[in-house]
Chains A and B, each alone.
Chain A
Amino acid sequence: SQQGEEDPQALSIQEGENATMNCSYKTSINNLQWYRQNSGRGLVHLILIRSNEREKHSGRLRVTLDTSKKSSSLLITASRAADTASYFCATGGAGSYQLTFGKGTKLSVIP
């Protein structure tokens, strides 16, 4: 079974708007990562946040982590058509570097 569950499953917004995706997980983690997957391609790493961190920024991306609620959110500000993709959260345990992926959120940014 998959650890993370993203919400919503699909999201459609206009270019320039912000997009927020959420991820919930069940067991304790060492880190949580977000990946992007364009149609028919491999996954690209976006950002990693460790269990002792609460917020992290990278360019137009902002990730928060609430370990007490076992949840994370990914905010993409000022979205572009090129941000159209599926976004996956993946949780990492301690010591093994293994990742457990959720089912993803499919984001469509309309020009």
Chain B
Amino acid sequence: DAKTTQPNSMESNEEEPVHLPCNHSTISGTDYIHWYRQLPSQGPEYVIHGLTSNVNNRMASLAIAEDRKSSTLILHRATLRDAAVYYCILSPYSGGGADGLTFGKGTHLIIQP
């Protein structure tokens, strides 16, 4: 399975934008890029996913590099409630699909007030 590399942790200030990077240099042409986040004491929560084009939704934006070897999750204005572990996951399926999703350790995002 193609793997992703994320920083272990990042810190940002409240009400500022946050850019969470993810490297996936061995991504295949049919792999979707998924982002989930996990707030303390909760299960993971879907954030966004994309294939080639940048994507926006009410939670975040996903910027995908032209060669698809990296992507960035953008939180436009972080709040304290965005403090969580963010997982970048590759999957050949647009949703869960067989095998579900393979989670790594993710990036622990700390938001300072």
Mutual binders A and B:
no
B-contacting residues of A (Cβ < 8 Å)? none
A-contacting residues of B (Cβ < 8 Å)? none
